[in-house]
Structure 1
Amino acid sequence: MDKHNPHITRVYDAELEQARGMVMSMGGLVEQQVDSALRALFEHNAELGQSAATNDYKVNEFEVKIDELVVKTIALRQPTANDLRFLFTIIKIITDLERIGDKAEKIGRLSIALAPMLDGFRFVNDMRAMGDQVQKMLHEGLDAFARMDAEAAARISGEDLEVNKTYKKALNELMKHMAENPNTIDVSLDILWCLRAIERIGDHVTNVCEYVIFLVKGKDVRHLTHEDMLREVTGG
Structure 2
Amino acid sequence: MNNKEKLTQHISQQFNQDLEAVRSNFLAMGGLVEQQVLDAMKALVDVNVELAEAVIKNDSRINRMEIEVDEELMRIMALRHPAASDLRLVVAIGKSVTDLERIGDEAFKIARATVALYKEGESPRGYAEARSISARVSEMLHDVLDAFARFDAKAAFEVMKADSYIDREYEAAMRSLITYMMEDPRSISRILNVMNVLRSLERVGDHARNIAEQLIYMVQGIEARHTDYDEIERRLSQI
Q: Does 1:29 align with 2:66?
A: no
Count of residue pairs the alignment pairs up: 226
- TM-score by length of structure 1 reads 0.91
Alignment partner of 1:222: what SS? coil
1:220 matched to which residue of 2? 223
Q: Does 1:177 align with 2:180?
A: yes
One-letter code aligned to 1:13:
N
Shift of 1:47: 1.5
2:115 matched to which residue of 1? 112
One-letter code aligned to 2:122:
M
Shift of 1:23: 0.5
Q: Does 1:153 align with 2:190?
A: no
- CA deviations 1:92-123 (Å, max 9, x no partner) are 100000000000001011112326513x21x4
Among residues 198, 222, 236, which one is paired with 1:233 in the alignment? 236
**Equivalences for 1:117-196 in 2 at 5 Å?**
117-118=122-123, 120-121=124-125, 123-196=126-199
Task: Give me the identity figure in percent.
Answer: 38
Shift of 1:229: 2.3
Which consecutive aligned stretches of 4+ in structure 1 deviate over 4 angstroms post-superposition?
none
One-letter code aligned to 2:230:
E
Greater displacement, 129-138 / 180-189 = 180-189
One-letter code aligned to 1:169:
A
C-alpha contact 2:55 2:111 (8 A) present in aligned 1: yes
C-alpha contact 1:213 1:233 (8 A) present in aligned 2: no
Q: Does 1:100 align with 2:127?
A: no
Greater displacement, 24-33 / 105-114 = 105-114
Cα distance in structure 1, aligned partners of 2:34 and 2:106 = 12
1:74 matched to which residue of 2? 77
Structure 2 gaps of 5+ residues are: 1-11
- CA deviations 1:114-165 (Å, max 9, x no partner) are 26513x21x4212211001100110110000000000000011111111111
Cα distance in structure 1, aligned partners of 2:78 and 2:23 = 18
Alignment partner of 2:122: what SS? helix
RMSD: 1.6
Cα distance in structure 1, aligned partners of 2:211 and 2:113 = 26
Cα distance in structure 2, aligned partners of 1:112 and 1:60 = 21
Cα distance in structure 1, aligned partners of 2:213 and 2:38 = 23
Among residues 50, 62, 84, which one is paired with 1:47 in the alignment? 50
- TM-score by length of structure 2 reads 0.90
Shift of 1:11: 8.4
One-letter code aligned to 1:167:
Y
